[in-house]
Amino acid sequence: MDSIITYLLLLNQYLLNVIYKQTLFIAKHIPLSQWKFDDSNSPEYQKFKVDKLPKIIRFEKVDYLLLLAYYKHKYNKVVRPVQRRNDNSVPEGIVCPKCGAPHLYIYDNNGNRGQYQCKVCSQIFNESNSVTNPIVLLCPYCGHTLAPNKDRKHFKIHKCINPKCSFYLSNLKKLPDGIKPSEKYKFKLHYIYREFTVDFFKMDLHEISKRAVNFSFKKFNPHIMGLCLTYHVNLNLSTRQTANALSDVHGIKISHTMVANYAQTAAAVIKPFVDSYDYKPSTILSADETYIKVKGVRRYVWLVMDACKKSILGYQVSDTRAVGPCILTMRMAFDKFKDFPGKALKFIADGYSAYPLARQTFELEENKIFDIIQVIGLTNEDAVSKEYRWVKQIVERCNRTFKHSYRVTNGYGSDDGAYYGVSLWVAYYNFLRPHAYNYKRPLNELDDLIQADNMPAKWQMLIVLGQQTILNMQS
């Protein structure tokens, strides 16, 4: 009986070894057709891929007299006025908005329907002398003009529809064998570019909450307010638990609404100091987003932190997981640099497409050129993940720390409360919380806070520093 069991075990091991060798042979020498196209196992994810920037031709004014002289010198060609073959003439008030050529050099481009073209610079415009296309987007692969394809809430999608585009032809060759023509729409084949219609670089990052109250204490005093912030932020108690703790421990009768008002006001005052403090950041940043609940509805918290010094440099709370909040968070982080490091910056994020889109926007709007390093997945399946996994884990650990303080609140009651709740937590994390990384001391040690004897006094000093920052900003 024992010999039969031993024989069966040996046979089982032999068969497993054969299966392993056959699988290895297939993987090396017989690649599956679906592996030929990236992400072909899930074509829905291909729409989130970010292509490189297009070639952009911007509207710039020139002088038509200089252009006429240039044509004469370069090509020995004299550009003569338009010869009209019919009685329709261009009104004398029509002038090219680009080069200033008079009506003598203007074509009637569409038969008295209001569109004109300049013979000198070839600019197309309408009756009100406004340019039809002030910015022309060209495909970086074939040079074909991009066509508007879709109009979304905050951006427009431009698409290269040239059937001979090298990018399109290359993707066609990568399609799985035997795919039906009706299923090609599932794969991203054409070059696309997302043009944002909202200027995220003109938005105010330091707006003050409408629910903030003043510090004219009628019934309580600054020490009680410091106690409220200590229980509420440091010890992760909700506003009702904070009110109960003050009543049971200190005999202070205070409502949970007043605790919330104190937190809102303190956040509004401290936030400018936290956002404008000179953190002296390193050139390795890590970004991630997590979700919270506001009145039972999902919201998102974006964080960008210094991977070396562990300080949180940028944060936002948003109702969408779009690229707009990502840009605002990165703006807050990049403002901490006195001199932007450029290509020396290592910005590590996950595989979400909002980060490459934000990078393109920074390159276009502020000429800040840097690279996004995306650590994809939970396992180190590529060289990039092996090298930068530790950076991604730092911000993931920070997310878990935030979630620990957030869960006791059972969600926030308003978007405004969520934003300023996160603001207070960032102030506590950067300036008050003891960190093992810094030998149980705060990440950023301030002389004013070291002199304070207890935590309520430290919160009061943070408020004083915030008030001084606001006065300096106003002056």
Q: State the average pLDDT over residues 226-240.
A: 91
d(CA 299, CA 137): 34
pLDDT tens for 243-254 read: 999 999 999 999
Q: What is the mean pLDDT of the chain?
A: 84
pLDDT in the model for residue 434: 93
- Binned at pLDDT 50, 70 and 90, residue 48 comes out as low
- State how far Cα 299 lies from the chain centre: 15
Query: How is residue 55 written in tokens?
Result: 């070639």
* DSSP-assigned states of every residue in 93-140: T---TTT---GGGEEESSSSSSEEEETTT--EEETTS-BS-SEEEE-T
Residue at 51: amino acid letter: D
pLDDT of residue 35: 45
Q: Is 410 left (phi over 0), alpha (psi -120 to 50) or beta?
A: left
pLDDT for position 172: 85
Find the helix or strand (DSSP H, E) in which 266 lies: helix 256-276
**Integer CA distances (angstroms), 169 to 143, 165, 177, in order:** 15, 6, 15
User: How far is Cα 350 from Cα 187, in angstroms, rounded to an integer?
Assistant: 22
Q: What is the pLDDT of residue 288?
A: 94
Q: What is the pLDDT of residues 269-301, one digit of tens each?
A: 899 999 999 999 999 999 999 988 888 889 999
**pLDDT for res 130:** 62
Helix, strand, or coil here: 442?
A: coil
Fold of 269-474: Nucleotidyltransferase; domain 5 (3.30.420)
pLDDT at 211 over 60: no
pLDDT at 34: 44
Q: What is the pLDDT of residue 136?
A: 80
131-140 pLDDT, tens digit each: 656 678 889 9
As a whole-number percent, the residues of the chain with pLDDT over 90 amount to 33
Residue 217 pLDDT: 63
Task: Provide CB contacts within 8 A for 385, sequence distance 6+.
Answer: 375, 376, 377, 379
Q: What is the mean pLDDT of residues 211-225?
A: 71
Q: Is 454 exposed, middle or buried (0-12, 13-18, 19+ CB in 10 A)?
A: exposed
Q: What per-residue confidence (pLDDT) applies to 37?
A: 47
**Digit-coded pLDDT (tens) for 182-194:** 888 878 888 988 8
Rounded Cα–Cα distance for residues 328 and 314 (Å): 8
Look-up of token digits 């996994």: 389
Residues forming a β-bridge with 292: 299
Question: Residue ranges per domain, the chain?
Answer: 34-50+140-196, 60-126, 269-474
Confidence of residue 445 (pLDDT cuts 50, 70, 90): very high
Q: What is the pLDDT of residue 322?
A: 87
User: In this predicted structure, what is the pLDDT of residue 109?
Assistant: 81
Does residue 213 carry a pLDDT above 60? no
- For residue 450, the model assigns a pLDDT of 87
41-55, 64-78, 308-322, 400-414: least confident range: 41-55
- Whether the per-residue pLDDT at 435 is higher than 80: the answer is yes
* pLDDT digit string, tens, across residues 136-186: 888 999 988 898 888 887 788 899 999 999 999 988 888 877 788 888 887
**Predicted confidence (pLDDT) per residue in 368-420, tens digit:** 999 899 988 777 777 888 899 999 999 999 999 998 877 666 677 788 788 88
Lowest mean pLDDT among 95-99, 314-318, 322-326, 394-398: 95-99
